[in-house]
Amino acid sequence: MTIETTPFDAAKYLGDPESQAVFLRDALETGDAGYIAHALGVIVRARGMSQVARDAGLSREALYKALSPTGNPTLSTLLGVTKALNIRLEASAIPTNEK
């Protein structure tokens, strides 16, 4: 007997801005560039790739490439995407005992 599985798509479960912000916050806290790009990609797919690309001033293809597993989005791409998503990036000091 074979087990049938279906691919999991987190974008289906991130329908509201607050859950998207929590997901991105988690990614940012890891400091893992690949995870951050992946999280942004999931959020962008949840919102609609074409619309976010337009709002960020990018082509759909360029956005896919930047947020792919091998992508490395530039700072201007990151800022454009977060602005298009209405997500604010914030900074806070890391306590010295957490280094």
Per-residue pLDDT of 23-51, as tens digits, reads 999 999 998 888 999 999 999 999 999 99
DSSP result, 38-83:
HHHHHHHHHH-HHHHHHHHT--HHHHHHHTSTT----HHHHHHHHH
Per-residue pLDDT of 58-89, as tens digits, reads 999 999 999 987 888 899 999 999 999 999 88
Provide the 10 A C-beta neighbour count for residue 99.
5
Please state the pTM of the whole predicted model: 0.84
Q: Which domains does the chain have, with CATH numbers?
A: 15-88 (1.10.260)
> What distance in Å separates the CA atoms of residue 33 and residue 92, rounded to the nearest whole number?
18
**Confidence (pLDDT) at 42:** 94
